[in-house]
């Protein structure tokens, strides 16, 4: 018959605890047995649910400049406060026809780059200019001042705004339709004019967004109401469909925006006023990886 052996188990003539190599082997098998199921479950999880996903986040309006005073001759200035860092700061300036050079200064030290300057070929009365900058940190009452090279009523208006959630590496949508610039009235733009009774005609410009974009429009207007015409017109007031107005009229021009969520055609329609030029641009969204 077999008999139970009392006392510690022995390897050779010493207890197992006195044999480090045996303890190490046992410990390894215990670790492998405990971790292997976890590794297998992790592999399954990665294969099914933890794939890298690209998520397009639409940009958003993060601040609108408000008028403030400035000291230089014939200057114009606005203050801008934003909530987020890595914003794209966009500046539109509507100038008179006698202004050829603008000097820009910023109290926070951000540096603006000229994006475009566009003069209507149908109406020789000014120019739409667009500038942009990247603000690494949120802005607090940031002062943006524009000084023209000529005196007296040369800056007809300006508008600055902050855009969050934008791709700071490319900034603008790379689609070949961006930016769009049209002179009005024309066959390309359409025929519109201000009339309090009939609210006639529509002037238009369009782009094709590549995805989630902040689409912004600057419209030069010949000293008449903003896009949509007279609010009291018997024909009805028709502001640009699908767009939100930021400012109008601001020294004979207005700025509107919309946000797209996918690639599509975006058309801006301005009716019931004397639109003389339209600029449509698009800031592209940032892309995050989960």
- Tokens representing 71 are 């000291």
Report the 10 Å Cβ neighbour count for 58: 16
pLDDT at 100: 83
Would you say 188 and 280 are in contact if contact means Cβ atoms under 8 Å apart? Answer: no
Cβ-defined contacts of 183-188 (< 8 Å, 24+): 183/120, 183/121, 183/122, 183/123, 183/276, 183/277, 184/120, 184/122, 184/123, 184/275, 184/276, 184/277, 184/278, 185/122, 185/275, 186/121, 186/122
Dihedral sign (CA 65, 69, 70, 74) = positive
**Domain ranges for the chain:** 10-47, 56-285
pLDDT at 55: 46
Report the 10 Å Cβ neighbour count for 125: 16
Using the CB atoms, write b or e for 133-167: b if 16+ within 10 Å.
bbbeebbeebbbbbbbebeeebbbbbbbbbbbbbb
Question: Which segments of the chain does DSSP mark as H helices, in order?
Answer: 20-48
pLDDT at 124: 83
**Greatest CA separation for the chain:** 119
Per-residue confidence of the chain (290 residues) as pLDDT tens digits?
A: 444 444 444 444 455 445 555 444 444 544 445 544 444 444 333 444 433 334 446 799 999 999 999 999 999 999 999 999 999 999 999 998 778 899 999 999 999 999 999 999 988 878 999 999 999 999 999 999 999 998 888 999 999 999 999 999 999 999 999 999 999 999 999 999 888 877 678 999 999 999 999 999 999 998 888 999 888 888 778 899 999 999 877 778 999 999 999 999 999 999 999 999 999 999 999 864 33
């Amino acid at each position: 018959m077999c008999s139970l052996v009392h006392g510690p188990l022995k390897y050779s003539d010493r207890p197992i605890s006195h044999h480090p190599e045996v303890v190490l082997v046992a410990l390894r098998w215990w670790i492998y047995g405990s971790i292997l199921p976890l590794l297998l479950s992790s592999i399954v999880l990665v294969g099914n649910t933890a794939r890298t996903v690209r998520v397009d986040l639409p940009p958003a309006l993060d601040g609108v400049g408000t008028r403030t005073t400035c000291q230089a001759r014939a200057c114009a200035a606005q203050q801008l406060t934003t909530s987020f860092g890595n914003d794209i700061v966009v500046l539109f300036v509507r100038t008179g026809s006698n202004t050829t050079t603008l000097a820009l200064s910023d109290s926070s030290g951000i540096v603006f780059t000229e994006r475009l300057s566009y003069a209507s070929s149908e109406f020789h009365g000014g120019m739409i200019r667009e500038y942009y900058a990247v603000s690494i940190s949120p802005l607090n009452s940031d002062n943006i001042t524009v000084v023209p090279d000529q005196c007296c009523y040369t800056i007809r208006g300006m508008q600055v705004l902050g855009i969050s959630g934008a791709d700071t590496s490319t900034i603008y949508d790379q689609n070949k339709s961006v930016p769009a610039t049209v002179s009005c009235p024309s066959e390309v733009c359409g025929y519109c004019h201000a009339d309090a009774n009939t609210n006639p005609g529509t002037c238009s410009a369009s782009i094709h967004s590549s995805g989630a974009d902040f689409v912004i429009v600057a419209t030069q207007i010949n000293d008449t109401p903003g896009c949509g015409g007279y609010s009291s017109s018997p024909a009805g007031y028709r502001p640009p469909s699908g767009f939100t107005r930021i400012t109008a009229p601001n020294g004979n021009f207005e700025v509107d925006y919309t946000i797209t969520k996918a690639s599509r055609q975006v058309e801006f329609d301005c009716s019931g006023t004397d639109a003389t030029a339209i600029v449509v641009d698009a800031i592209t969204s940032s892309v995050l990886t989960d």
